[in-house]
């Protein structure tokens, strides 16, 4: 371990956000071709230039501090999450999957910049903190642009698969929700063990209990709807292409990255339930609409409480490395 000073950590966090931007670039460039809905296409198109500028600004700051951009490798800390365009392309409801994963990725970026600004603050590096805060605002805005178009994403997705089997589609959305909750369970079970700080661990374990209940509610809706038993297995297979758990192998002991990653994952769930509730509405399934609404409240609350612990997470990460700020 050599990165023991706060300055070295700032450079390291800058290198991480730079890697995240590099991985974002080919994806935001590819996304407009897959998004179908005009407002979504426009949102992605606007973000191409923003992402290019973010990558450049981060690289310049990195160089000013004597660091150099690292070659992007999957172990850079983002796990396999960035492959969202590839994943979306492989799914029958491409526009919806694309916007869900992009929404999650924007929150991964938002978290990374908020964590960077926390580290920079501790190191009295005002320039880096200002840069991180400015880019964080751009990522938040992009996420909001995506979130303003759930309806369009659902329409485009249903058109892509043929709209006449709404009930079957809704079962698929429920199956997908179940598979994502299963991954959330895996992640949170691990996070509880390596959270790095008692407040963080409390946030993880609280949401672990909620997650079990979410999965149960989704299962109950599938049962009430008389869905075929293979719905769950099929959904798990579809999601299998993305191994979110790979992140832990690469970053087992970094509370800050873990908190940022969990925050991004909550937004993948939020995006899933936002679309699920709209499909349920169109299918006239009020019980599923209500279930999605109440789960959404808890996903949002969990995301907020994680975000509220980012500073704690930064402190825990620095302490784990023996960095005194
Ligand atoms: Fe970005
Ligand atoms: Fe972004
Ligand atoms: Fe969740």
pLDDT digits (tens, 9 = 90+) for 259-305: 999 999 999 999 999 999 999 999 999 999 999 999 999 999 999 99
Residue 123's SS3 state is: coil
Ligand 3 center to residue 177 CA distance, Å? 10
Ligand that lies nearest to the alpha carbon of residue 53, given by its number in the listed order: 1
CA 122 to chain centre: 26
Q: Is 145 in contact with 32 (CB distance < 8 Å)? A: no
- Report d(CA 16, CA 309) in Å as an integer: 20
Q: How far is the C-alpha of 119 from the C-alpha of 11, rounded, in Å?
A: 10
Ligand nearest to the CA of residue 267, numbered in listed order: 3
Distance 268 CA to ligand 2 centre (A): 15
> Ligand 1 centroid to 324 CA: how many Å?
29
Residue 109 has pLDDT above 50, yes or no: yes
What are 3-43's pLDDT values in tens digits? 579 999 999 999 999 999 998 998 899 999 999 999 999 99
At 72 the pLDDT is: 53
Residue 244, pLDDT above cutoff 80: no
Measured in Å, residue 302 CA sits from the centre of ligand 3 at 7
Mean pLDDT, range 134-155, rounded to an integer: 97
Distance 322 CA to ligand 3 centre (A): 32
Residues 264-277 pLDDT 10s: 999 999 999 999 99
Ligand 1 centre distance from Cα of residue 74 (Å): 17
Span from the CA of 245 to the centroid of ligand 2 (angstroms): 22
Q: Residue 320: its pLDDT value, please?
A: 87
| DSSP result, 23-61 | HHHHHHHHHHHHH-SHHHHHHHHHHHHHHHHHHHHHHHH
pLDDT: is 295 or 249 the higher one?
295
Position 78 pLDDT exceeds 70: no
Ligand 1 centroid from CA 252, angstroms: 24
- Predicted TM-score (pTM) of the model is 0.93
Distance 56 CA to ligand 1 centre (A): 10
Ligand 2 center to 142 CA (angstroms): 7
**What confidence tens digit (pLDDT) does each residue in 210-227 have?**
999 999 999 999 999 999
How many angstroms separate the Cα of 141 from the Cα of each of 68, 116, 282, 317?
28, 18, 28, 28
pLDDT of residue 194: 83
Report the range out of 90-94, 182-186, 207-211 with the highest average pLDDT: 207-211
Phi-psi region of 197 (alpha: psi -120 to 50; beta: other; left: phi over 0): beta
CA of 53 to the centre of ligand 3 (A): 32
pLDDT higher than 70, residue 59: yes
What is the pLDDT averaged over residues 77-97? 68
Residue ranges of alpha helices (H) inside 123-149 are 126-147
Please report the pLDDT score of residue 254 as a whole number. 86
pLDDT > 50? residue 196:
yes
* Distance of CA 141 from the midpoint of ligand 2 (Å): 9
Confidence bin at 241 (pLDDT 50/70/90) = very low
pLDDT at 67: 86
- Residues whose CB is less than 8 angstroms from the CB of residue 2 and which lie 6 or more positions away in sequence, other chains included: 8
Around ion ligand 1, residues with a beta carbon closer than 5 Å are: 21, 51, 54, 109
In the predicted model, is pLDDT for residue 199 greater than 80? yes
The pLDDT, as a whole number, for residue 134 is: 98
pLDDT at position 238, please?
77
At residue 21, the pLDDT reads: 94
How much is the mean pLDDT over the chain?
A: 89
């Amino acid at each position: 371990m050599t990165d023991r000073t706060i300055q070295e950590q700032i450079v390291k966090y800058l290198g991480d956000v730079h890697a995240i931007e590099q991985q974002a670039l080919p994806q935001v460039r590819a996304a407009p071709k897959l998004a179908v809905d005009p407002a979504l296409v426009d949102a992605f198109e606007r973000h191409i230039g923003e992402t290019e500028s973010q990558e450049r600004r981060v690289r310049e700051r990195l160089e000013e501090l004597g660091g150099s951009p690292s070659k992007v490798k999957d172990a850079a800390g983002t796990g396999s999450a960035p492959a969202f365009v590839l994943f979306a392309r492989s799914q029958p409801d491409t526009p919806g999957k694309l916007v869900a994963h992009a929404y999650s990725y924007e929150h991964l970026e938002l978290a990374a910049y908020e964590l960077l600004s926390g580290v920079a603050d501790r190191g009295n590096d005002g320039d880096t903190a200002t840069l991180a805060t400015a880019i964080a605002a751009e990522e938040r805005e992009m996420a909001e642009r995506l979130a303003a178009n759930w309806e369009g994403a659902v329409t485009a997705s249903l058109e892509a698969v043929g709209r006449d089997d709404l009930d079957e589609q809704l079962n698929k959305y429920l199956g997908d929700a179940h598979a994502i909750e299963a991954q959330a369970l895996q992640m949170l079970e691990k996070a509880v063990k390596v959270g790095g700080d008692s407040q963080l661990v409390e946030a993880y374990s609280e949401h672990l209990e909620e997650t079990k209940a979410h999965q149960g509610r989704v299962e109950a809706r599938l049962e009430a709807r008389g869905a075929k038993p293979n719905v769950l297995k099929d959904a798990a297979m579809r999601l299998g292409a993305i191994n979110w758990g790979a992140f832990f192998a690469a970053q087992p002991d970094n509370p800050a990255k873990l908190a940022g990653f969990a925050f991004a994952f909550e937004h993948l769930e939020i995006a899933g339930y936002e679309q699920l509730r709209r499909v349920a509405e169109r299918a006239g399934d009020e019980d599923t609409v209500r279930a999605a609404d109440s789960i959404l409240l808890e996903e949002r609350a969990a995301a907020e409480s994680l975000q509220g612990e980012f500073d704690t997470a930064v402190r825990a990460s620095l302490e784990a490395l023996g960095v005194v700020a």
